[in-house]
Structure formats: C-alpha cells, structure tokens
Amino acid sequence: MQELVSGLILAGGLSSRMGRDKALVAVAGVPLLVRVAQAARQALGPQAPLHVVTPWPERYQGLALAGAGFMREEPRQAGPLVGFAQGLAKVQTEWVLLLACDLPGLDSATLRSWRAQLTEVDETMLAALPRGVGLTWEPLCGFYRRRGLSVLQTYVEQGGRSFQGWLAALPVQALASAPEGMLFNCNHPSDVLLQESALR
C-alpha cells in the first residue's frame, strides 16, 4: 500500500492578466480550481490530505473541491513560493503534491504514475518535477519532500521569491514527461477559449 501524499493547491494570485479571479473561471462549465482539486483527489486517493492555500478561503467555500480544506495564506499576494512555504509547514506526510489552480489540462492518470515513481526517488532528492520549457523545472505541478522545508524557509527569509531560483540550488529528480497540454496554464481569457476548443 502506498503511503499517503498530501496535496496543496495554490490559489492566491492577483489574476491581473485574466481580469478576474482565475480560480473561479470556468472551462467547459467547471471552475479551474474545481478541476484541479478533482484531479488531485483522483491522483492521491480518498484519504489523502488536500488543501487550498489562499488568502481568501471565503471565496471558494461553495465550490465542490473534492473534500479539500483551506489553509489561509498571510500576508496576501506575497507570491506562490511564500504560500507554498506556509502550506508545507502544516503538512505531515513525507511527500506533497503541489499544484497551481490554473491547470485545466491536468491528467490524474499521469499524476498517479508520477506518484508511483516516488518510491524510486533517491533519498538525497528534495523534489521530483517534470521539465518545463527548455531546461527549467515546472514547479507548480510536482512533488516535494517535506524535509526541504527548512531550506525553503531560509531562502524565503533571505528575500527569495523565485521558484526557479530556489530550485537551482536544490537536488531535484526529473519525472517522466507530461502529456501535451497538461502543463498549460490559463492566464488570459484567450487561454480559456483555447482550452475549451481542445476539450471539445
């Protein structure tokens, strides 16, 4: 039996390019945050701790979030890395799946496959992530070991706010490539139209 893996979903951005809270933007009739929560639940199983990290949990109370709870992020708009650090400090499992709230193409089967690979990740590795564009990591769709928290907190306390900057000094293991479109994130209304066309 696999050990439990916690899930954290970040929903704290300003959504300035979208023009409104993108966590609530519907793709094919389903709000983005709901899509991500459902994919996370399917990947992690019914018993896994799952939380939305957000400065405004009241906005999302009425959504069907697959049993996810809330962790309030303070201060507001401090950035995704700070929100992650706050969430990571509250989980108890060895591994945490971190997801952004704006990934409509998430594939739960791929997430489950990646989760199964965690047993093979070397003990020295503090994260297991897919590659993004070029040689960069995709930090908001992957797995982190909880014992990387002290390194993360030190980086944040020193003023660090960049996931890529933090990961550059972190031992990270690459996961298998994601299916085409899985890591696409919706930042603009035109992105929503593209995703709805892809889902037809």
The pLDDT of residue 16 = 66
- Domain definitions of the chain by residue range: 6-199
DSSP secondary-structure letter at 131? B
User: How much is the pTM?
Assistant: 0.94
**Averaged pLDDT of the chain:** 91
pLDDT tens digits, one per residue of 107-140: 999 999 999 999 999 999 999 999 977 778 999 9
Is 6-199 in CATH node 3.90.550.10?
A: yes
pLDDT higher than threshold 60 for residue 165: yes
Name the band, by pLDDT with cuts 50, 70 and 90, for residue 76: confident
Query: How do residues 44-61 score in pLDDT, each as one tens digit?
Result: 999 999 999 999 999 999
The phi, psi pair for 142, rounded to 5°, reads -175, -170
Provide mean pLDDT across the span 177-181.
90
Tokens 């139209």 sit on residue: 193
More confident residue, 60 or 188: 60
Instruction: Provide the edge-to-edge strand list for the sheet that holds 127-129.
Output: 69-72, 50-54, 6-10, 95-100, 141-145, 127-129, 172-174
Higher pLDDT, 193 or 106: 106
SS3 of residue 190 by DSSP: helix
Residue 199: phi and psi, rounded to 5, are -85, -10
Percent of the chain clearing pLDDT 90 (strictly above): 74
Overall average pLDDT of the 85-113 stretch:
96
Q: Residue 1: its pLDDT value, please? A: 54
